[in-house]
Each structure stands twice: as structure tokens, then as C-alpha cells.
């Protein structure tokens, strides 16, 4: 049996997001978000589930912080609900919204846990969506206005900021594939939004520097890996397009100052125009202190004309799958991390999301989620291998602390280290919670 020894200096954490755990969607002045609207649109979310109650963490945050503390985490990654702070997206600030996040952050600090705050985790104020949302360049400055309020309010308390979580999900998953809010299906809209998100990210980083803030700031793209089925050039190029869809498109502008030409051309062939305004590419390239990487799955793939957006099809290699039917592919995690390191250099990397969906239930006050433990074992081993090959990993943050609202899957899909009984709101630590607790404590585990 192999022993996986992780470096003593990496930080460990767990992650959540506002709309997925808070509930209290109409409490203390919170405005509507696009997910409140999307969730209540028939047919968009499994069982018509919404975030009105979720895990009720708005009221139970102390209990949840205690769960983070008991795990032994260094970091707790959470997100702020923009419509709690600015119910109309801009303008008048909702003090009760700020007060909630002060209560949460103060509790974390009192427990010796470092807050990592995500400013945008998909809950755009509906008022901004009514004016075109991220398709409208005005939303860029609305985001910077919101971010500046948070920076000034929490300077000295929060020292790790993430501008935008998973810009691919916000742009392409939500506006081309239509799977997430607002559910548009336009490649032009999605590409325009992807650019506006990167400009918003860069302008926010620039503002953070101008304000003389003392912490660190980055963003958290989601990633995947497609391993070519053969050495044929068409398979290699098809897989590169799929990897570049999530990685190159969102990393090249930040780290290299330009979009990947092969994708610009590919989108142009699909009728897409990329409207870049003077100064956009310069501001996107504002230097960041760390990059967050979210990884869940990857696959082996090959060229197939007409298959998807990039003439590329996944192959069923017989890999085990989690309960959300995603293939378990830890090799892809290693490939992503070494690819990012080789292509973009030595910016410190936090794994800001990695985890697995297993829908095990409580039996005799225990949740036997061996599948999740096995997933974490193989992916932390891939992480350790990437560190051994020189990838600058600063921390590992597991998705998620709690079972929660898994977007279009509603409450049917569970990613938590802690089980949620959505009827009673009772939390139950799963076997994986105790396993991760020991890894954090010891720094090693048996594979
Ligand atoms: C019908 C076609 O479908 C194409 C792919 O459709 C999806 C759906 C969902 C995802 C997805 C979900 N997650 C987990 C979240 N990350 C952030 C945090 O909030 C977690 O809840 N990551 N990626 C990707 C792709």
C-alpha cells in the first residue's frame, strides 16, 4: 500500500457559495438574483428546487464555521451574495447584508480560520440582468463598484479575494449551452460575456491595487482535460480545442495578454465576432497574486466531425463514474496542473474546488461515502505528483463543506463532506469528513 506524503506547507480548506447554502433569500433586504429567477422558471432545475432555504447557513453560520474548525482547516472559501450588498446591483448599499458577512468573517477569524472570499459565484442581481447582464459592458463597472465596497469594508479582515468563480460556467455554460442562469443559448452572447468577465476581473484587480489593499487577489477558472485517443493530429487538435475552451481562453488573456488565436479563428468560423475595446487586453493582464483552479473531471477524446462545438467526442473508457455521472479521471488533474504551470509560469495555485458527487444517505448517524474518500485519495495523489514535478501549489480547498444546492441539479446531487437533511437541516459528518480531517492533521494518507 502506497503512502502519499503531502508537503507540510500547503494550506487546506473547504468551499461553499452563497446561493447554494445561505437561504434567507428575501431576508434583511437582499435583492433578487438571476438564480432566484432561473430556479423558479419551470423546467430549468430538477424538481423545481430553489435556494430559498438551502442549508439555512444565513442563520446557522456559527454551526458551519464550527464544522470547518473541527476539520482543522486553515482556509474557508465562501462567496458573497452581490444582491445582499447591492439589492439593485448598484447604488444604495444594504447595511444588513454587510453585517451578515461581518458576522461570518468575525466568527472565522475568532476560530483562527482564514477567510477566502469569492466576490462573484453566479448570483448576479436580477436588476442588472434586466439591463442585459454580463452582455452589457455596464455590468463591468457595476462589478468593480461592488468589489470596491467589499474591499474597503473588509480590509484588514479578509486578505484572500477571488474575483470570479468559473468564468466558463458564467459565460458558455449559462449563455451558450443554457444549462445555468440565465439560460441563454447564443455562442455570440457567451463569447461576449467571457470577454466582459475577464475585463471585469482585470479592472477589479487594478482597483484593488489602486486602493492600496494589503491582501492577495486572484480568480478561479474551472478546468478539464481531454487526452487524445491517438497520436493522430486531428485527435490532438480536437482535444486541444476542448481543453482551450476552458483553460486557454480564460488563462491566456490574463497571463499572456491575448486570446488563443486558434480559438478566435474557430469562433469566427462559427459567426462570432469578439469586440475588444482599446485598453481591454491591458487591464485583463493586471498581475494577480494567485490563481484558483477548479477540477472535477476529464476524459479521453477524439476528433469527430460535427460533434459538439469543437468536432470532438468523449470516449467511454470504462472509467468509474461518480453519482452525477462524471468520469473519475485523476490523471487529468495532473495533466491540467502541469499544463498550466508549463504554459503560464509560477503564479501560486490554490485548488479552489475539487470534490465528488456521491448521494449516500445517513444510516445510524453515519454516512459511509467510501466513493468520495477514494476520489479524494486519487486526486490528492495526482496533486502530490504535480507538486513533485514543480507545480507551485499553495493550497487545496475541497468542494464542498456541505451538501448544497447543486444548481440545475437542485438538491439531488450531493458534494458535501457533511450530509444535509434538507427537511430538518441537520448536519451529519460523513466518513469522508473524518478522513479529510486526518489528512489535514497528519499530512499523509494511505492510497
Ligand atoms: C447538457 C450539457 O451539459 C454540459 C456540461 O454541464 C455542466 C454542468 C455543471 C458543471 C459544473 C458543476 N460544477 C460544480 C460547481 N462548481 C462551482 C460550485 O458552485 C459547484 O457547485 N462544476 N462544473 C459543468 C458542466
For the chain, the average pLDDT equals 98
Rounded to 10 degrees, the C-alpha dihedral 295/300/302/304 comes to -70
| Ligand 1 mutation pick, 166, 190, 246, 414, max ligand atoms within 8 A of CB | 166
pLDDT band at 119 (very low <50, low <70, confident <90, very high): very high
Which pTM value belongs to this model?
0.98
pLDDT band at 289 (very low <50, low <70, confident <90, very high): very high
Q: Report the pLDDT value the prediction gives residue 23, as an integer from 0 to 100.
A: 99
> Cβ(369) to ligand 1 under 6 A?
no
pLDDT in tens, 176-230: 999 999 999 999 999 999 999 999 999 999 999 999 999 999 999 999 999 999 9
Q: Report the pLDDT value the prediction gives residue 2, as an integer from 0 to 100.
A: 94
Catalytic center residues = 353
Distance 36 CA to ligand 1 centre (A): 18
Rounded Cα gap, residues 313 and 187, in angstroms: 19
Q: What would the grid cell of residue 377 be?
A: 485519495
> Cβ(394) to ligand 1 under 6 A?
no
Q: What would the grid cell of residue 12 be?
A: 487546506
> Cβ(324) to ligand 1 under 6 A?
no
Q: Report the pLDDT value the prediction gives residue 391, as an integer from 0 to 100.
A: 98
ipTM: 0.96
Q: Report the pLDDT value the prediction gives residue 354, as an integer from 0 to 100.
A: 99
CA-closest residue to ligand 1 atom 1: 179
How far out from the chain centre does Cα 401 lie? 14
Q: Specify the CATH number of the domain 3-446.
A: 3.20.20.80
pLDDT in tens, 75-101: 999 999 999 999 999 999 999 999 999
Q: Quick one: what percent of the chain has pLDDT higher than 70?
A: 100
Cis amide leading into 182 (omega within 30): yes
Q: Report the pLDDT value the prediction gives residue 426, as an integer from 0 to 100.
A: 98
Distance 169 CA to ligand 1 centre (A): 7
Distance 8 CA to ligand 1 centre (A): 31
pLDDT in tens, 276-287: 999 999 999 999
Predicted confidence (pLDDT) at residue 1 exceeds the cutoff of 90: no
CA-closest residue to ligand 1 atom 14: 406
pLDDT in tens, 307-330: 999 999 999 999 999 999 999 999
Going across the sheet that includes 216-220, the strands are 216-220, 160-165, 114-120, 75-79, 11-15, 393-399, 349-353, 291-295, 222-223
pLDDT in tens, 224-278: 999 999 999 999 999 999 999 999 999 999 999 999 999 999 999 999 999 999 9
270 by Cβ neighbours in 10 Å (0-12 / 13-18 / 19+) ranks as exposed
255 by Cβ neighbours in 10 Å (0-12 / 13-18 / 19+) ranks as middle
pLDDT in tens, 31-69: 999 999 999 999 999 999 999 999 999 999 999 999 999
**Contacts from 181-186 at CB under 8 Å and sequence distance 24+?**
181/34, 181/35, 181/37, 181/38, 181/39, 181/44, 181/122, 181/124, 182/34, 182/37, 182/38, 182/129, 182/133, 183/38, 183/41, 183/44
Secondary structure of residue 363 in the 3-state scheme: strand
Distance 160 CA to ligand 1 centre (A): 24
> Cβ(162) to ligand 1 under 6 A?
no
Inter-residue contact 123 to 18 (CB < 8 Å): yes
Beta strands, E only, 45-134: 75-79, 114-120
Secondary structure of residue 102 in the 3-state scheme: helix
pLDDT in tens, 146-165: 999 999 999 999 999 999 99
CA-closest residue to ligand 1 atom 21: 406
Q: Report the pLDDT value the prediction gives residue 26, as an integer from 0 to 100.
A: 98
Distance 151 CA to ligand 1 centre (A): 28
Q: Quick one: what percent of the chain has pLDDT higher than 90?
A: 100
- The mean per-residue pLDDT over the stretch 331-342 comes to 99
> Cβ(403) to ligand 1 under 6 A?
no
> What is the residue extent of each domain of the chain?
3-446
Amino acid at each position: 500500500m502506497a503512502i502519499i506524503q503531502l508537503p507540510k506547507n500547503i494550506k487546506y480548506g473547504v468551499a461553499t457559495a452563497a446561493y447554494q447554502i445561505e437561504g434567507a433569500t428575501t431576508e434583511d433586504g437582499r435583492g433578487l438574483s438571476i438564480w432566484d429567477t432561473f430556479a423558479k422558471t419551470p423546467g430549468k432545475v430538477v424538481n423545481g428546487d430553489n435556494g430559498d432555504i438551502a442549508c439555512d447557513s444565513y442563520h446557522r453560520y456559527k454551526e458551519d464555521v464550527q464544522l470547518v474548525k473541527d476539520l482543522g482547516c486553515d482556509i474557508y472559501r465562501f462567496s458573497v451574495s452581490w444582491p445582499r450588498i447591492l439589492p439593485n446591483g448598484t447604488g444604495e448599499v444594504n447595511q444588513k447584508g454587510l453585517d451578515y458577512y461581518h458576522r461570518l468573517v468575525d466568527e472565522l477569524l475568532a476560530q483562527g480560520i482564514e477567510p477566502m472570499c469569492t466576490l462573484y459565484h453566479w448570483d448576479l442581481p436580477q436588476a442588472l440582468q434586466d439591463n442585459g447582464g454580463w452582455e452589457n459592458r455596464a455590468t463591468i463597472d457595476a462589478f468593480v463598484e461592488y468589489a470596491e465596497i467589499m474591499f474597503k469594508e473588509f480590509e484588514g479582515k479578509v486578505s484572500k479575494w477571488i474575483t470570479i468563480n468559473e468564468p466558463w460556467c458564467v459565460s458558455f455554460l449559462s449563455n451558450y449551452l443554457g444549462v445555468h442562469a440565465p439560460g441563454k443559448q447564443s455562442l455570440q452572447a457567451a463569447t461576449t460575456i467571457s470577454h466582459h468577465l475577464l475585463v471585469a476581473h482585470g479592472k477589479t484587480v487594478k482597483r484593488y491595487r489602486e486602493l492600496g489593499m494589503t491582501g492577495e487577489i486572484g480568480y478561479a477558472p474551472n478546468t478539464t482535460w481531454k487526452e487524445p485517443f491517438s497520436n493522430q493530429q486531428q485527435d490532438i487538435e480536437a482535444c486541444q480545442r476542448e481543453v482551450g475552451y476552458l483553460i486557454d481562453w480564460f488563462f491566456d488573456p490574463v497571463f499572456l495578454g491575448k486570446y488563443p488565436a486558434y480559438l478566435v479563428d474557430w469562433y469566427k468560423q462559427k459567426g462570432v465576432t469578439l469586440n475588444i475595446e482599446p485598453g481591454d487586453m491591458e487591464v485583463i493582464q493586471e498581475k494577480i497574486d494567485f490563481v484558483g483552479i477548479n477540477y472535477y473531471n476529464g476524459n479521453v477524446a477524439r476528433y469527430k466531425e460535427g460533434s459538439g462545438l469543437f468536432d470532438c467526442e468523449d470516449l467511454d473508457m470504462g472509467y468509474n463514474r461518480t453519482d452525477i455521472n462524471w468520469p473519475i479521471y485523476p490523471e487529468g488533474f495532473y495533466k491540467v496542473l502541469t499544463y498550466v504551470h508549463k504554459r503560464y509560469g509560477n503564479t501560486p495555485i490554490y485548488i479552489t474546488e475539487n470534490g465528488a458527487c456521491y448521494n449516500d444517505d445517513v444510516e445510524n448517524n453515519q454516512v459511509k461515502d467510501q466513493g468520495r474518500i477514494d476520489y479524494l485519495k486519487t486526486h490528492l495523489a495526482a496533486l502530490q505528483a504535480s507538486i513533485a514535478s514543480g507545480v507551485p501549489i499553495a493550497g487545496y480547498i475541497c468542494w464542498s463543506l456541505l451538501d448544497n444546492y447543486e444548481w440545475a441539479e437542485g438538491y439531488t446531487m450531493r458534494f458535501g463532506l457533511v450530509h444535509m437533511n434538507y427537511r430538518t437541516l441537520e448536519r451529519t459528518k460523513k466518513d469522508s469528513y473524518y478522513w479529510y480531517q486526518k489528512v489535514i492533521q497528519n499530512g499523509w494518507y494511505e492510497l
